[in-house]
Structure 1
Amino acid sequence: MMPPNSLKNPVQCLPRPFGMFLSVRLFTGLSAMLLTIMPHAFAAELSTPDGSAAESLAPSGPEAIPLLEFSDTQGYWAAACVDQMGSSGVMKGYGDRRFLPNNNISRAEFAALMMRAFGESTKVRDALAFTDVPASFWAADVIKQAYERGFLEGYPNSQFRPYQEISRAQAMTIFARVRRLSSTGDTDNILNQYFSDQSEIPGYARGAIAAAAKANLVVNYPAVDQFRPNDGMKRGEVAAVLCQAYRDGYDRRNVPDETIVQVQFCPVSSPAYDADGFAVVFGGADEFGYGRSGMQDRSGRWIIPPIYGELHPFSDGLALGFPPPFEYYPQSYSLIDQQGQIAFSRPIEGHIRDFSEGLAAFSTADGQWGFLKKTGEVAIAPQFSDAQPFANGLARVQKNGRFGFINKSGQVIIPIQYEATHEMFQENLVGARLQSSGKWGYLNASGEWAIAPQFQAVEAFWQRMARVTNTNNTRSQWSTINQLGEPADASTENELVGSDSKPPTLRNCSYS
């Protein structure tokens, strides 16, 4: 049997200063937001089923009850976190001295919470008149505002469904969207390794949950490996996620360590040079303690000076660099060539992915994705809700919660109809499933099933083999197939396990 992750796509292992920057960037961004709105940032807007008693259930002002005095949080698994949120005034609860940590949150209540915390976010679209949210509804204004900021989406026929409970998958997707967290090509690696129920995670949420896990935002109780994507999000769970995001430096003690999904980034003892002899190198810290990175060649010469808070390795001849956290807004990101010259810069407003096959996926402030040329000009206009790098001439895109693939002209080659797919083709095949309740198979570049849907979970092909499973628990019981969908020969499998050329894997490691 092969190790659980031996066929995964390459996953970046970061040297300590570079890896630390990722969590620092998260902390500085969200903490700054919350500090501007305290102390009444997260008073819960609660309502009766008909919405008539909203005001009496949403205490505010000096009469609000701090969570430390609530009668129903003693012995709760995240009690310390709830206490912190209450003592700081970030969350409040019911007027009868209860917090009700195990109560599920409705979409209306979640809209109110997001506006309390992130209401200063920029509007990215016009309001929509939802047919099931009358003007007299207690949360009508916050629903309108949350929609304008892109926090929550509506349903067909202009419905919002305010009383519907928000699922854990939906809530974490929103947190990731607000934090501008985005998947980086390792979604399936992370989900397969850290979540035993990853097959239940809907396609629209897979990248967001993986990105949130990398940022230490995912809190799972009682089993850390079970995300339970379709369960309702509870008030106590929201408090725990906020505690993770709004932490004092590196203090995470208010959320039990055993409930936090902690994706490991393995340190390296020496620079990792690419095929052209370049390596991202930590160049020291600034006066605020934030790391600055640059690019060196094998002689130790700085090709790119160490001025970037985050610097990606060269990809398709260009390295993507971001300024340090304190300069993050309204600064620009830059694309630097192998001579150290800036090819172009753009203001930071959305996301950008590394260049591949001459194009880079990027998003605008309103969350629409398109593609840039190496000159910085727009090659494919922003029009998708997500886009991944090109591979074998095809790039995965998302519209209306479904995935498909386009070519470099923007033409849809594989229809945008799949509930979930892998992020890119590898060895001319890509894993896909049509429905959340369906099985996974592999598509070829023409959009035909090369291997018919029959698996509960699949991994990308590597050296003409891929791991698949027919069990819901994707942390065990994997087998290996070839590109015909046939069981792999045992000797070939063993040869691959011992190969030095197999991609690196996510693994447990600790900083010394």
Structure 2
Amino acid sequence: MHRLKQCMLFALLSIVLFTTSNAEAKVFSDTRGHWAASYIDQMSDKGFFAGYANNTFRPDDLMSRVEFYALINAMAGLNKTHTVTFEDVSTSDWYYTEVAKAIKSGYLTPTTGRLNPNNPIARQDVMAIIGYMYKLTPSKGSISQFSDSGKVNASNAGYVGALVKLGVVSGNGSMLYPNNGITRAEVAKILFTMMDKYGLPQERVVADSKIKFGSRSLYN
């Protein structure tokens, strides 16, 4: 009987190790040879990025607002929520809880207008959220080198500059393109670089009484 138990335990461990090994070796069919392949592989191996049903990752697709919220929420282990008042976010939407976590964490300003959740998230918003979640020291002056720095919102400038100062974001020549969308591959690189240097972001929680509402047109 003891011998049988040992054999069963060995078989079970073999299955677990085989499954884990396969999960860590996940390879997307459309990332081989892509400049961000290693970042994508490592982020997906850690469970923060997932591909699509046909084993593709779509690295050059723009990331939506709610896709990024879900990603940063998972990395920070957020679980506290706040009531969602956006008129285009319903409790039946898969991202309702992610938006609720984003508000409670303090990086998303609630409104009674539209969030346009599936719109591409702007580069400057990604940088501002990362800077906030990692509690970086704002460095507004670091964006002055870019000719389009005037397009960075005043509320985002400090954290955008912080990522530039750290060398995590370098722009494209003299341009930062703060209002452009950002691809899934670019997000993978930025977040892996932050995680590699500073670990995972820590949970942030804002008291309900401190959460202020923004203009209805804030996310139009």
TM-score (norm 1): 0.33
- The alpha-carbon distance between structure 1 residues 136 and 210, as it changes in their structure 2 partners (threshold 3 A), is same
Match of 2:68 among 100, 106, 110: 110
Shift of 1:226: 2.7
| 1:361-510 alignment runs, 5 A limit | 366=206
Q: Deviation at 1:139?
A: 1.3
User: What secondary structure does 1:246 align onto?
Assistant: helix
Q: Which residue of 1 aligns with 2:137?
A: 182
Of the two, which has the highest radius of gyration? 1
Given the alignment, which residue of 88, 94, 102 partners 1:146? 102
After TM superposition, the runs of 4+ consecutive aligned structure 1 residues lying more than 4 A away are: 64-68
Q: CA deviation at 1:400?
A: 5.6
Match of 2:144 among 176, 187, 192: 192
Give CA deviations for 1:80-115 in whole Å, capped at 9, x if unaligned. Answer: 222222333332211211111111111221221122
Task: Tell me the equivalent position of 1:202.
Answer: 153
1:228 counterpart = 2:177: yes
Instruction: Give yes or no for contact 1:172–1:208 (8 Å, CA) kept in 2.
Output: yes
| 2:168 alignment partner in structure 1 | 217
Residue deviations 1:406-441, cap 9 Å, x none? xxxxxxxxxxxxxxxxxxxxxxxxxxxxxxxxxxxx
How many residues in Structure 1 have an aligned counterpart in Structure 2? 192
Change in Cα spacing, 1:113 to 1:213, as seen in structure 2 (3 Å) is: same
Q: Which residue of 2 aligns with 1:136?
A: 92
Name the CA shift for 1:226/1:66 in 2 (closer, same or farther; >3 Å): farther
**What CA distance in whole angstroms lies between the structure 1 residues aligned with 2:59 and 2:25?**
11
* Partner of residue 126, structure 2: 171
Which runs of no fewer than 5 residues in structure 1 stay unpaired?
1-60, 250-328, 330-348, 351-364, 368-382, 386-398, 402-512
1:66–1:235: structure 2 CA closer, same or farther, 3 Å change rule?
farther
Q: Is the strand fraction higher in 1 or 2?
A: 1
State the partner residue of 2:50. 92
State the one-letter code of the partner of 2:175. Q
For residue 65 of structure 1, report the CA deviation from its aligned partner. Answer: 6.7
In 2, the alpha carbon distance for the partners of 1:126 and 1:82 equals 31
Task: Tell me, in whole angstroms, the C-alpha distance in 1 between the residues paired with 2:23 and 2:58.
Answer: 13
Paired letter, 1:107? R
User: Cα 1:196–1:75, aligned 2, differ >3 Å: closer, same or farther?
Assistant: farther
Any residues of structure 2 matched to 1:251-270 within 5 Å, and which? none
Unpaired runs of 5+ in structure 2?
1-18, 216-220
User: For 1:68 and 1:98, how far apart are their aligned partners in 2?
Assistant: 11
Structure 1 residue 68: deviation in Å?
A: 4.8
The 1:84–1:384 alpha-carbon spacing in structure 2 relative to 1, beyond 3 Å, is closer
Q: Distance in 2 between matches of 1:139 and 1:209?
A: 26
What's the C-alpha RMSD, in Å, of the aligned pairs? 3.4
Q: For residue 131 of structure 2, give the secondary structure of its aligned residue in structure 1.
A: helix
Cα distance change, pair 91–102 in 1 and its aligned pair in 2 (3 A)? same
Structure 1 residues 73, 224: closer, same or farther in 2, change over 3 A? farther
- Distance of 2:206 and 2:46 partners within structure 1: 32
Structure 1: distance between partners of 2:182 and 2:58: 13
Structure number with the higher helix fraction is 2
**Structure with more relative contact order (C-alpha pairs < 8 Å, separation 6 or more):** 2
Alpha-carbon separation, structure 1, partners of 2:41 and 2:129:
24
**Paired residues for 1:24-63 under 5 Å:** none
Question: 1:81 and 1:165 mapped to 2: Cα distance?
Answer: 21
CA distance, structure 2, for counterparts of residue 76 and residue 82 of structure 1: 10
Aligned partner (choices 240, 243, 249) of residue 189 of structure 2: 240
What does 1:256-335 align with in structure 2 at a 5 Å threshold?
A: none
Paired amino acid for 1:237: E
